[in-house]
Structure 1
Amino acid sequence: MGNKAVANRYAVALFQLAKEKDILKQIGEDLQLVKAVFEQTERLSNVLEHPKVLEEQKVKLIKDSFADAVSAYVLNTLLIMVKQKKGNLVIPFINKYQELAYEAQGVAVAKVYTVKALSEEDKQQVSTTFAKKVGVETLHIENIIDPELIGGMKIRIGDRIYDGSIKRQLDRLQRTLVAGNR
């Protein structure tokens, strides 16, 4: 079984438990904390993957790092993953859980590419407009600065892309002009 499938199985199991206990949001917040620690501490993943580090040491590291910060459900899932030698799948597992939780809550994430940072008001307007288009209640905006766009914006929601950038319009115009000269 591939690593992605294994990570998905852990995520689905925790998601079902969280949904049953009505703590989707709390578990999601705990997992975002864990994700931030893993992303900011590259050595943590290296230690969990290293074959010469004993399992007991890995378990102690996870307990010392997260026991007071996350729920018992999240801690136990992390410990199971470490004991099963799946510590390298923590980030994919968290991403899949978040995807499942957002879907259950009617939430999606949009990556909005712009030349300059969007104001909170602009983010809210984009969220309101595009949430209706993709059929979700809430759209979380992740603003990414891309100077190559020249102007306008490009929005990616899942596998959908809405491209209203000036760069795209210029590319389209160029293709039209080149095709007309043949």
Structure 2
Amino acid sequence: MQTPSVGTGASVGLAGRYATALYEVADESRGLDQVVEQAAALARLIDESPPLRTLLADPTLDTKQSRDAVLAVLREQGFEAILQHFVGVIAANRRLPTLRAMLRAFAALVAARRGIIIAEVSSAHTLTDLQRTQLRARLTEAGYGRVDIHEQVDADLLGGLVVRVGARLYDSSVRSRLTRLNNAMKGAA
């Protein structure tokens, strides 16, 4: 995943260029907050809808078919014109398989420009409100002021957390502890 450079606010890669374009159009139209909210809703819709993910990735559909189908979904779900136009351009350019990555890059760009740090958290189970509060407090203690936590459940971790903040990775998962123990035992044999 390519994300915007926090230092300059500039985006890199294909997803970053599209994210920057969406940001600029939304900002110029004075509808940035609404587009941010709707882009997050579209990202959730993609994550929660296997048929939509299949549609986005289907190489057998021609450009017009895929564009019409995706735009019909957006209209049915009540998405505003800016996001519909953005997705229409993506479809016309045959980039629908990368739409989710573009929305991720857009969220990262918005966060960077607002001074918010994204913490990607993987856990074996959904975090409780208390765990979220404690995690946010620990991240604040570690020097991360405004933090937005993006959660993901990964049952393979067995327990614990994996937290990625920018280039830093904090891994306290049971899986990694077992791997380290296994490697240490092999070294001792």
Q: Which amino acid aligns with 1:9?
A: R
Check if 1:43 corresponds to 2:51: no
Q: Which amino acid aligns with 2:94?
A: K
**Residue aligning to 2:22:** 14
Task: Give the structure with the larger helix fraction.
Answer: 1
1:86 corresponds, among 95, 105, 118, to 95
Runs (5+) with no aligned partner, structure 1: none
Structure 2: how far apart are the matches of 1:136 and 1:146?
A: 29
Identify which range, 37-46 or 118-127, moves more after superposition: 37-46
Query: Would you say the 8 A contact 2:57–2:96 is kept in 1?
Result: no
Q: How does 1:111-122 map to 2 (within 5 A)?
A: 111-114=120-123, 116-122=125-131
**Residue aligning to 2:8:** none
Q: 1:146: how far off?
A: 4.7
**Residue aligning to 1:126:** 135
RMSD: 3.3
Identity %: 17
Q: Which amino acid aligns with 1:71?
A: E
Structure 2: how far apart are the matches of 1:111 and 1:7?
A: 18
2:168 corresponds, among 157, 160, 171, to 160
**Residue aligning to 1:100:** 109
Aligned length: 173
1:73 corresponds, among 82, 86, 93, to 82
* Per-residue Cα deviation, 1:80-104 (whole angstroms, up to 9, x for no partner): 1112222222111111111101112
Report the 3-state secondary structure (helix = DSSP H, G, I; strand = E; otherwise coil) of the residue aligned with 2:142.
Answer: helix
* Per-residue Cα deviation, 1:92-121 (whole angstroms, up to 9, x for no partner): 111111110111223233233445543202
Which structure: larger Rg?
1
